Amino acid sequence: MKNIEFTNLKRKEIIAQLKETHFDLVVIGGGITGAGIVLDAASRGMKVALVEKKDFASGTSSKSTKLVHGGLRYLKQFDFWLVKEVGSERAIVHKLAPHLVIPEKMLLPLIENGQYGKWLTSIGLKVYDILAQVEGDDKRRMVEKKEAMKLEPLLPKKILKGAGYYAEYRTDDARLTIENIKTSLSYGSIPINYTRVAEFLYNDDEMVSGVKVKDELTGEDYEVKANYVVNAAGPWTDDLRKINHSKKGKRLHLTKGVHLVFPHEKLPVKQSVYFDIPDGRMMFAIPRGKITYVGTTDTNYNDDKDEIEVDFADAIYLISAVNNMFPDIDLEMEDIISTWAGLRPLIHEEGKSTSEISRKDEIFQSYTGLISIAGGKLTGYRKMAERIVNLVAKKFEEDHKKEFDKCSTEKISLCGSDFKKYKDVKKYQKAVLSRIEKEGLSEYDAYHLVSNYGKQTEKILGLFNNRTEKSPEERMVRAEYEFCAKYELLQTPLDFFILHTGRMYFDIDSIRQHLDAVLAEHQTIFKSSVQEIRTYKAMIEHELDRHSNFSIEKRV
């Protein structure tokens, strides 16, 4: 998949196209759902635009547990349809981007008085394999206590009875979102970030015919016209339904999910573990490069959707659960090096607790023709998109006697993916390492580049080789920033550190190390004033403190 320049230098050109074009479809929301829809619609031949009020993936789609997984726990709710769909989707999404959706063995410990007994776990994982069409080495197996301890020596030996061992996939949700949007460019889509929907346009029949938007960077107001509008704004879906005067019937139920990040040496699990919490919930501990992260919480949320905090109670809850499952570990608040918190836009079900509410997606259609979609899981984004675009295509056929192609996204590799199998990714990563270690860079640098960008690493290495800074680390981070500005419509250094590279979560120390270099690169590319650079620096330093400072003195 070729890279199409998608740069700030062309932002005026993009806006001009948005103003001048009458689109078949406008999608509101640049999270994974909107990204999937814009790729599906554009690849079928629709003229499609996407508008996002912040940067792409800035909401829920950068705050998940970062797993493309089959939802094992939904078997307990007898939600077989959901397990079958998302379970099957794992292998498809892995095939579309094997550098970004990585096989990850998961260990499910069986403990005394735990939620999962040996017999039911064996049956459940077997059903899971059948529903998800799992094949080969990825099929589940049950292991005895001795082997479970060998797989993960930190497990509680006194109460451990054995374990289930099965396959999932790990990803970077923000990168997956960004690559879907970039891939859609090859099919003629027009996406834009930092563009907020303020109002809907209506035709003479009082049907939605586009959106009024505000450019959050310049303050400019303009209109984007279309035959149909899809509201895929995640936690903000009901806000847009309210603007459309159609927030009736079913509504969203927002819950907060929190994750904590520790240095791997503080929580040195050998592999991913899905384990019991004393209150009856389940939690993940997932090693990733230099760190291990744990999560998640699931609590009702009614506060500011744009400022979601990890509070002291969230952190205590998660740390207590980890220390309970891994008795040789004694994590403290000061061990937290980063955090993230996001919202799940679930469909409200009266009388059900947060953990009981279904994770299925639902589509709402207003009397003015606005189509909204909410709920669902990261893993099922492609099928959610297919259902929405099928609906839009049917409307085109009925209203305009126009037909579009069937969905083909299961065959469209994402940007950076030129790999047949995951072993090809590992081979390429070794080749990249052999090239960059001569420059003084590390194995982690090779892993970071390939797992984020796949074969797009070649473009970054080209930019790296053209630079003249003495420090290879500075040359590389500036080359990476240059790439994101040129091909990913990057607008701010903070978005670079959080969304485009994941450094805020997975390598937070590198931000402190390279902050000045990144700000200098931003100033060079965007011609920013000294005052703007000072503002960005203060903003990033504030975010570093907010994500990582969990001293008891600060949080009590």
CATH annotation of 8-60+174-251+359-411: 3.50.50.60
What DSSP assignment string belongs to 174-230?
HHHHHHHHHHHHTTT-EEESSEEEEEEEE-TTS-EEEEEEEETTT--EEEEEEEEEE
- Range 284-313 burial, b when 16+ CB lie within 10 A, else e: bbbbbebbbbbbbbbbebeeebeebebeee
Question: How far, in whole angstroms, is CA 499 from its chain's centroid?
Answer: 9
Residues in the chain: 556
**What is the reported pLDDT for 139?**
82
Domain ranges of the chain: 8-60+174-251+359-411, 101-170+253-347, 422-553
Other CB atoms closer than 10 Å to residue 43's CB: what's the count? 23
CATH annotation of 422-553: 1.10.8.870
CB 24, CB 226: distance < 8 Å: yes
Which SS3 state, helix, strand or coil, does residue 263 take? Answer: strand
* Amino acid residing at 104: E
Spatial CA neighbour of 257 closest among 359, 111, 158, 384: 359
* Alpha carbons 140 and 126: distance in angstroms, whole number: 7
What's the Cα-to-Cα distance from 190 to each of 4, 181, 184, 527, rounded to whole Å? 12, 9, 9, 25
Other CB atoms closer than 10 Å to residue 397's CB: what's the count? 12
* Alpha carbons 533 and 522: distance in angstroms, whole number: 8
Strand-pairing partners, residue 169, are 68, 103
Helix, strand, coil percentages for the chain (3-state, nearest 5): 45, 20, 35
What angle, rounded to 10 degrees, do the helices at 508-526 and 472-487 form?
60
| CATH tag for 101-170+253-347 (out of 3.30.9.10, 3.30.420.40, 1.10.3720.10, 1.20.1440.20) | 3.30.9.10
Mean pLDDT by 10 residues, the chain (556 residues): 64 95 98 98 98 97 90 64 76 94 93 81 79 75 94 95 92 98 97 98 97 97 98 97 90 94 97 91 94 94 93 94 95 95 85 62 93 91 96 96 96 95 96 97 98 98 96 97 96 98 97 97 96 97 86 46
* Alpha carbons 306 and 58: distance in angstroms, whole number: 10
Spatial CA neighbour of 418 closest among 455, 459, 453: 455
* Alpha carbons 55 and 374: distance in angstroms, whole number: 20
**What is the reported pLDDT for 65?**
95
* Alpha carbons 67 and 57: distance in angstroms, whole number: 15
